Amino acid sequence: MESTPPATMLRLGDEAPNFTARSTQGPISLSDYRGRWLVLFSHPADFTPVCTSEFVALAKAAGEFAALDCALMALSVDSLYSHLAWIRLIHDMFGVTVDFPIIEDPTLEIARAYGMIGCDAVDAAAVRTTYFLDPDGVLRASTCYPAEVGRSVDEMLRILTALQRVHRGSCLVPANWTPGDDLLRVPRASVAEIVKEKNAGDWFYTTIPDKGAA
């Protein structure tokens, strides 16, 4: 029996594949979001407890993402009408309105294009990836959680903020960084610059203040 070739994984630095799909906000294309940051996150099914908790948390934090000029977009293999019924239930149970679009992917076409699942996958159990796309539609970071463990919205916001800090290439983000903590200067790249440093290690490790998005 011939084996099915593995799906191509979307790698950091790749331009995310464009798509057009139905969503809870009407027909949308990924290219509609060029010019701003986008967090695209997927889930395997509607009406699941972990995903429900995530949608409640993300809906409540939508303003924080908007303040960072970042849109949210969800993907699920379920149908548009399933999405709408789920949103209504979330509204009735938790008093939260999910305003960001949820796109449908019943054929798993988008999930396969992004490498979330293998070409021979028979279900969507592995569709639990988050993609952080820059204003040019380029993948800058991704995370993948198992179905049993919910995403951390605080970590999503931290990753997004860190990516925005380093986007112009003027600084680096150290371990355990949170907004307001010191950043790292980009290492010096010439002998002339290195020998001018006061201390031997300053050329490659020097902290600088976090000046925010400026």
Q: Which of left, alpha, beta for 212 (phi over 0: left; psi -120 to 50: alpha)?
A: left
User: Nearest Cα to 112, choosing from 102, 122, 98?
Assistant: 122
pLDDT at 111 (0 to 100):
87
Does 1 score more than 70 pLDDT? no
The architecture in CATH of the region 20-152 reads 3-Layer(aba) Sandwich (3.40)
Is residue 144 part of the annotated active site? The answer reads no
pLDDT at 10 (0 to 100):
87
Q: Which pair of structure tokens corresponds to residue 151?
A: 């995403």
The pLDDT tens digits of the residues spanning 4-13 come to 344 577 899 9
d(CA 71, CA 53): 19
pLDDT at 2 (0 to 100):
35
Q: How confident is the model at residue 197 (pLDDT cuts 50, 70, 90)?
A: confident
The pLDDT tens digits of the residues spanning 78-95 come to 999 999 999 999 999 999
d(CA 53, CA 50): 5
The pLDDT tens digits of the residues spanning 38-76 come to 999 999 889 999 999 999 999 999 999 999 999 999 998
The helix/strand/coil state of 29 is: strand
Domain limits of the chain?
20-152, 168-214
The pLDDT tens digits of the residues spanning 113-150 come to 888 876 665 555 667 899 999 999 999 999 998 889 99
pLDDT at 169 (0 to 100):
85
User: How many residues are present in the chain?
Assistant: 214
Strand partners, 75: 42, 103
The pLDDT tens digits of the residues spanning 159-187 come to 999 999 999 888 999 999 999 999 999 99
Q: How confident is the model at residue 213 (pLDDT cuts 50, 70, 90)?
A: low
**Out of 51, 70, 119, 144, which one is annotated catalytic?**
51
Q: How confident is the model at residue 107 (pLDDT cuts 50, 70, 90)?
A: confident
Q: Are the C-beta atoms of residues 144 and 170 closer than 8 Å to each other?
A: no
